[in-house]
Amino acid sequence: MKRTILLVVLVTFFLSSLFVVLTYNTVKAEGNIFSISSNRLLQDQDNPNLYYFVGMVYYEVWSNSGGQWTGAGHHPKSKVPEVDGGTYEFTFGSNRKVKSISVEQFNYDWKSADGKVKLGDLAFEKSRAGELKENPKKYYQNATSKFDYDNYGNTPVNGLGSNKASKKVFVLNGILEAKVEPVNRREEERIKNGTVFAPGVEGFRYYFPTLFKIELEPAEGMAIIQHFDTKGNPLNGIDGFTDKEMKLEKGKDYTFPHTAPGEKYTYEGHKKSTRETYKTR
């Protein structure tokens, strides 16, 4: 007499979640690590695994009361060989893997291929919501370098293949000349904080907004195929039955093969669970 068997297919699929804590520095971007929260990433309309973020790299110059430019001595209209924008870190759900991170000069006028969607506005508003509460977009746009700066240091991406990855950003040969005018940092400090400066002291900030493209591997789940008899007894390793696992990618169709029952058994059917491991009763 043949015994009947029950095939159990367990499918678990974990959708991605993004969580991080934002680090914000009001003084200088150089040398910092910025952790970017999920609500600041713009998802690509056509590729759900591609995200965008606008990083506001900047450089400040200050002169002392004697009219000398401090620090490295850079001044308005000079060229900075290496603008250190800091390190940007992106963290995703534990089941997601970062495939790549690239950077390029951000274009405020960036639009979709058909010209109907103002992607530049969407990306900036999504990424810089906090700053836009303090100043309008024109504040940053006017102080952006007027010269092309799509020239970045070849820095590695740390953490590829995991759910957390980071990249350090250097703008090479950034020119300190704004599209309209730089941010007058002396005036800002005087108005906001009541700071009193000696005569001759000046401070200016120039922006080099940078577009990050973060691509993830396709979302994965797991199908667990197990064999039981109709009484709920596991059959893995018995009479040729072998349980198995299959990786799944979101958006793809799959079939789940079972071990041929042979002469001793008759295939009875299957049960499916999308929540937890099958339990016998």
Confidence at 251, pLDDT banded by 50, 70, 90: low
Per the structure, the count of domains in the chain is 2
For residue 28, being part of any structural domain is answered with: no
Q: Tell me if 26 is assigned to some domain.
A: no
Selection from 247, 248, 224 nearest residue 236 by Cα: 224
Q: Name the pLDDT band for 1 (thresholds 50, 70, 90).
A: very low
Q: How far from 188 is each of 81, 82, 85, 164, 200, CA to CA, in Å? A: 27, 26, 22, 36, 16
Q: Is position 21 within any domain? A: no
User: 49 and 133: one domain?
Assistant: yes
For residue 85, the model assigns a pLDDT of 96
Residues 43 and 170 in one domain: yes
> Has residue 27 been placed in a domain?
no
Distance of CA 239 to the CA centre of its chain: 49
pLDDT for position 12: 41
Kindly indicate the confidence band of residue 30, based on its pLDDT and cuts at 50, 70 and 90.
very low
| pLDDT of 216 | 96
Structure tokens at 179: 């599209």
Q: Are residue 114 and residue 178 in the same domain, yes or no?
A: yes
On whether both 251 and 126 belong to a single domain, the answer is no
Q: Are residues 137 and 268 in the same domain?
A: no
pLDDT digits (tens, 9 = 90+) for 112-121: 999 999 999 9
Asked if the structure places residue 238 within a domain, the reply is yes
Q: Whose CA is closest to 13, among 248, 238, 233, 278?
A: 248
Alpha-carbon distance of 119 to 256, in angstroms, equals 41
Q: Looking at the predicted structure, is the pLDDT value of residue 274 above 80? A: no
CA torsion sign, 257 to 261 to 266 to 270?
A: negative
Q: Order the strands of the 33-36 sheet from edge to edge.
A: 33-36, 79-91, 164-175, 157-158
Residues 43 and 113 in one domain: yes
Compute, in degrees rounded to 10, the torsion defined by CA atoms 107, 99, 43, 90: -80
- Assess whether pLDDT exceeds 70 at residue 64: yes
Domain contains 278 = no
Are 158 and 68 within one domain? Answer: yes
Say if residue 73's pLDDT is above 70.
yes
pLDDT confidence of residue 158 = 97
Largest CA distance in the chain: 103
Residue 198 pLDDT class (50, 70, 90 cuts): very high
Q: What's the average model confidence in pLDDT over 61-70? A: 96
94 and 231 both lie in a single domain = no
Confidence at residue 9, expressed as pLDDT on a 0 to 100 scale: 44
pLDDT band at residue 260 under the 50/70/90 scheme? low
Of 167, 186, 216, the residue at which a domain comes to its end is 216
Each residue of 171-186: b (16+ CB within 10 Å) or e?
Answer: beebbbebeeebbebb
**pLDDT of 258:** 62
Task: Provide the terminal-to-terminal Cα distance of the chain, rounded to the nearest Å.
Answer: 24
Q: Is residue 19 part of a domain?
A: no
The domain boundary residue, chosen from 167, 182, 216? 216
Question: Do 137 and 241 reside in the same domain of the chain?
Answer: no
Cβ atoms of 183 and 205 closer than 8 Å: yes
* pLDDT per residue as tens digits for the range 85-100: 999 999 998 889 999 9
Of 192, 216, 240, the residue that ends a domain is 216
Residue 24 in any domain: the answer is no
Residue 241 and residue 106 share a domain: no
Query: What pLDDT sits at residue 178?
Result: 98
Are both 119 and 232 inside the same structural domain? no
Would you place residue 226 in the very low, low, confident or very high pLDDT band (cuts 50, 70, 90)?
A: confident
**Together in a domain, 200 and 230:** no
Domain that holds residue 96: 33-216
Q: Is 27 exposed, middle or buried (0-12, 13-18, 19+ CB in 10 A)?
A: exposed
Distance CA 74, CA 276 (A): 61
> Model confidence over 132-185: pLDDT tens digits?
999 999 999 999 999 999 999 999 999 999 999 999 999 999 999 999 999 999
